[in-house]
Chains A and B, each alone.
Chain A
Amino acid sequence: MTVLLQSLISGILIGGVYALIGIGLTIIFGVMRVINFAHGDILMVGMYMTYVLFTSFGIDPFVSIVITIPLMFLFGAFLQKLFINRMQGALPQNQILLTIGLGLIMSNTMMLIYTSDYKILSTSYSSESFNLGGISISSPLAISFLITAAITILLYWFLLKTDTGQAIRATAQDREAAQLMGINVRWMSILAFGIGSALAGTAGALISPTYYIFPQIGGIFTLKAFVITVLGGMGSIIGATLGGVIIGIAESVSAVYISSGWKDVVVFVLFLLVLLFKPAGLMGKSRM
């Protein structure tokens, strides 16, 4: 029983970070109808940014998100303005290929600068854990979960209560109608891509104390981000939050009860099943 509870809790903790990655992808998809295949690579850029801030300036990874978030927002906005924007309305396949290309450029540029060696960001608390009623919880995961929860709540507030947030949601619901209502949809697209990138970058920063950092890590997270968003329903933020937690739990439970080598297979099989039997996802109807 403790084993199950243990794996459930660690699944929920990592699921929080997954949710952040998924929400980023789903906002971009919702507003721009572009599936961002560079999402994991953007996360990787966030990881390296955190690594540099830690090794060169001694800034704690959880503190450094104050710097990472705005920088990654600008990075995403720049990508949107310079590349993705030109593809608005183009064939979905070509949009996918463009983002794949951008991802390749990011990962290989990082490889040029930092080589493909695995980097480890070890803080004093990297392998620390505390005990909660017989269940041991990893400290960095717990801290990152709290930060994720705070960011998610802030994001919900932003999207639901502020004018800009409502404009983003309106654009996601119906681009043309939003434009007719006087919403600057181009600006909303830039904003959405910026927010999506900032979320991916933050997720990268939050996992950097517990994961190896290397240029090719993006691919795994791009795939996970898809699984999460499709599971929740493309474009649904609540769905992505839920999807992230479900995937986190599925991974940690199958790692314990099957084997850690097969846990990703379980996730992908789950993904195919959702695609086949409920392609709209759990929250498919209500978009954002």
Chain B
Amino acid sequence: MKLTFALIRTSAGTSPVATALGVAILVGLFLFPNFVQSPYALHIMILFFLSTIQGEAWNIIGGYTGQYSVGHAAYFGAGAYTTMVLMQYKQIPPWYGMLAGIGIALVVSLIIGSICFRLRGPYFVLASIAVAEIMRLSAMNLKDLTNGAEGILITEIPVFKIGETVVTDFLSKVPFYYIGLVIALLTILVTWMVQNSKLGYYFQAIREDQDAAHSLGISLSIYKNIALAISAVFTSLSGSFYAIYIGFIDPPTVLALDISVQIVLICIIGGIGTIWGPVIGALVLVPLSEALRSNLIAQMIFKTGLTSEESGLGIFLKEHLAHAHALIYGILVVVVILFMPDGVLGWIKKLTAKKGRG
């Protein structure tokens, strides 16, 4: 009830144009698979949802509470591995596996929190990395449980039934699209609720000045752990979702340091500590890295006639550019940190504010 009131209040605060636009986008997103059948387009959208979930989840602990965890692969991997191990070896359907993954991620977050939150600043960053690395190395070595470096490949997902009616058989990308969309909307909603609650104010107080917050009676360890737990739940959900969607996981793809860094970058590039920052970040990163991966950039360079497909440079670009999609992450983060410290969202806001004044 309180939530509905709050929703009405904020929607009254924003302009009707913005509200209408928001509703239109939402309806458009739900109808999208009815108009677009291309599996590739759906795939891009699913990746976009996945990045949004990861970014929003990290935002709770990194953006609002100011604790830069660079070990979120730990929760992503916990979700992915729990779901896959249960499905592959115990034939437990993934939707229960997702819940189990959340449970495991919560336990992991409490352990990590109790170790790492005693440390501050750069030491916290290092400790979070160390814990994630321990998890990755364990997954590599516990071969009986995780199949080690070979990873886990699922052959088929059980049909999802309610009673006797088949809801979906997961044969196309459409069910994944809707699952991703719903989880993404859920994370955005939770972020919004956190931001507008007492909890959110506590988080932000801790971010601004830990000692001041502590002296005002905010228990640092309790609220940091709550923030981490919320963050871990959604990161784990994204991990489970990723595992079921891709159908294959191994330690380098779900538990590596690269994954942790990518999760942070989504947030940093969009703008940390804001609801829409991670969405913007995902909107920038996913198409860019996909364009590189599928060699669209190389094709574009050929079209502009800078170099031809047959020339030495052309062949080089065609062969190698696809492998370097992470390069764009590196360049983007350097540019963002140096020139737009508040992320793309903050930069846009600044530009529009200047225009308004001018």
Contact = CB atoms under 8 A, between A and B. Distances in A.
A280 to B, nearest CB: 10
A147 interface: no
Given A97-B337, A98-B337, A275 B123 contact: yes
A134 interface: no
B325 to A, nearest CB: 8
Interface stretch (A138-146, A159-167, A236-244, A264-272): A264-272
B127 A265 contact: no
B70 to A, nearest CB: 8
Interface string B99-132: 0000000000000000100110111011101110
A100 B333 contact: yes
Interface residues of B, number: 41
B221 to A, nearest CB: 14
A102 B334 contact: yes
Nearest to A230: B126
A86 to B, nearest CB: 6
Interface residues of A, number: 43
A78 to B, nearest CB: 14
Contacts of A105: 327, 330-331, 334
Contacts, number: 118
A88 interface: no
Interface string A96-116: 111011111111110111011
Contacts of B138: 265
Contact of A272 (B121, B130, B141): B130
Interface in A193-222: 219
A33 B118 CA distance: 21
B27 interface: no
B134 A101 contact: no
A103 B334 CA distance: 10
A228 to B, nearest CB: 12
Contact of A275 (B119, B323, B341): B119
Nearest to A101: B333
A112 B130 contact: no
A108 B333 contact: no
Interface in A65-95: 83, 86-87, 90, 92-94
A229 to B, nearest CB: 10
26 contacts: A35-B122, A83-B338, A93-B125, A96-B125, A97-B264, A97-B265, A98-B337, A101-B330, A101-B334, A103-B330, A104-B326, A108-B324, A111-B327, A112-B320, A116-B323, A223-B133, A226-B126, A230-B126, A259-B141, A261-B137, A262-B141, A268-B137, A275-B130, A276-B118, A276-B119, A279-B119
Given A97-B337, A105-B334, 5 more contacts: A96-B70, A97-B264, A111-B324, A226-B129, A259-B141
Interface of B: 68, 70, 115, 118-119, 121-123, 125-127, 129-131, 133-134, 137-138, 140-141, 257-258, 261, 264-265, 268, 320-321, 323-324, 326-327, 329-334, 337-338, 341
